[in-house]
Structure 1
Amino acid sequence: MRARLSSFFVMFSAVFVFNLLSISTHAQVYEYVNEDGIKVLTSRKPDANKYTVTEHGCFGMCRTGINWHDTPLNHDAYASEVNAASAQYGVDKALVRAIMHAESWFETQALSHAGAQGLMQLMPATQTRFEVTDVYDPRQNIQAGTQYLAWLLTEFDQDIDRVIAAYNAGENAVKRYQGIPPFNETREYLRRVKILHSRYQLVP
């Protein structure tokens, strides 16, 4: 395990609440409902004789069954870093926060099955492109992710849909399909980020 990660749990009520746990770098995540009726995500395999366990191959994009219109937002995490990067690169901070929420749930040590890392899930090539020396440093990760968004906004003429899709599937895929790629993951990613973006925009 690279480092201790806090993660989230979801209460079966009208409100989603998140708990702390450790996520290992192999990105295998187990889901079960504990004795209190709380849905728990953990990298440690629970006792299958005690709980009904569901396995996920990743943490962020594999989460299903969440109502993105209602799930709690996080306006406070890394506020100074988000505000600074947003101002420096001219990117709407609500978009930065929506991307971060969808990508990592604000977990600095998040690592996807594809090798994307940190708060904004930067791929190694993106890290190199924007001269990231410590991908798990919140400031560097947010700066590079926001700089990439700024580049995408210019590349795709401020078309938010194509920008969001490119952040997930890569700019070349968007260019190749001349629009949103026909990938289920990308289309779902676009849907959830747009919902989160509009909600984050409601709070200055």
Structure 2
Amino acid sequence: MKLSPLAFTFTVLLTYSLAQSANATIYWFTDENGVAHFSNVPTDKRYVPFTSTNDAVAKKTIPGTRDRRPDTPAKVQYGAIIEEIARIYALESALIHAVVSAESAYNATAVSKKGAAGLMQLMPDTARRYGATDRFDPVQNLHAGTRYLSDLLRMFNGNVSLALAAYNAGENNVVKYGNQIPPFQETRMYVPKVLDLYRKYQVSMKLPPVRRGI
């Protein structure tokens, strides 16, 4: 079934809620035309688990993508969700893709040494602040991480570099150092890396060039 943006968002949220309440696994895939398909019976080999509350997410692969670009399976799995969440929070999907790529390489079960988890590597406090009860669930993680990024962009007047620095090092550190990128090696490497990915995704997705201050 082909879904409009609004219908897709509703279907995603409804599917997630029903799966949780029924303790069932919902499967989905996006076909070559960008159409999202949902089912509780995976009759097509392209179906993958929609939720990540068990080990299936860590083990799943998508047939036919082993020899393609590394980000191709991720775009199939999460591209449609990222696009909708980007609309909800009025951000460019390219920026969200860039952060996800840099943070977890699209691994929904990734955990850092510092305890950040999921696609956008949420710390426990950040997850609680934005209502994500399961950091390993892609939908919850993307919603919370994108909302946090949106708030940081507003906090730093649309300056992408400062917002990214705050995402990595915390907003208090950016403020502490006079609204400049903090002098932390990790952060100094993180910001240009994400900006480079951001521009590359804009080109590959044929989006307008960056308009925010960087």
Please give the TM-score of this superposition, normalised by the length of structure 2: 0.62
1:96 counterpart letter in structure 2:
I
Change (3 A) 1:105 1:6: farther
More RCO (CA 8 Å, sep 6+): 1
CA distance in 2, matches of 1:6, 1:200: 26
What RMSD over aligned residues (CA atoms) do the two structures have, in Å? 2.2
Residue in 1 aligned with 2:183? 182
Q: Which residue is equivalent to 2:155?
A: 155
Q: Could you tell me how far apart the structure 2 residues matched to 1:195 and 1:18 are?
A: 25
Q: Which string of whole-angstrom CA distances, capped at 9 and with x for unpartnered residues, describes residues 91-121 of structure 1?
A: 1110100000000000010000000000000
Report the equivalent of 1:166: 166
State the one-letter code of the partner of 1:184. Answer: Q
Tell me, in whole angstroms, the C-alpha distance in 1 between the residues paired with 2:76 and 2:197. 15
- Aligned partners of 1:6, 1:77: CA distance in 2, in Å? 14
How many angstroms apart in 1 are the aligned matches of 2:66 and 2:187?
Answer: 25
1:199 counterpart = 2:207: no
CA distance in 2, matches of 1:193, 1:18: 25
Q: Secondary structure at the match of 2:76?
A: coil
Q: Which runs of 4+ in 1 moved over 6 A?
A: none
Q: C-alpha separation between the residues in 2 aligned to 1:73 and 1:188?
A: 21
User: How far, CA to CA, are the matches of 2:93 and 2:107 in structure 1?
Assistant: 18
Q: Does 1:91 align with 2:91?
A: yes
Q: How many Å apart are 1:72 and its aligned residue?
A: 5.2
- Give the number of the structure whose residues are more often helix, by fraction: 2
Alignment of 1:1-204 (within 5 A): 3=55, 5=58, 73-74=71-72, 75-178=75-178, 179-202=180-203, 203-204=205-206
Spell out, residue by residue over 1:153-201, the C-alpha distance to the aligned partner (whole angstroms, 9 max, x if none): 1000000000111110010010101210000000111121011000001
Gap regions ≥5 residues in structure 1 = 8-16, 20-70
Deviation at 1:76, TM superposition (A): 3.5
The whole-number CA distance in structure 1 between the counterparts of 2:198 and 2:95 is: 5
Q: Is the 8 A contact 1:6 1:107 kept in 2?
A: no
1:77 CA displacement: 3.6
Structure 1-normalised TM-score?
Answer: 0.65
C-alpha distance in 2 between matches for 1:86 and 1:176: 29
Distance 2:107 2:66 in 1: 12
Q: How many residues were matched structurally?
A: 143
| CA distance, structure 2, for counterparts of residue 122 and residue 18 of structure 1 | 28
- Deviation, 1:3, is 3.8
Amino acid at match of 2:119: L
5+ residue gaps, structure 2, are 1-53, 207-214
1:40 aligns with: none
CA–CA distance in structure 2, aligned partners of residues 104 and 80 of structure 1: 18
- 1:47 aligned residue: none
- More divergent stretch after superposition (78-87 vs 106-115): 78-87
Q: Is the 8 A contact 1:118 1:135 kept in 2?
A: yes
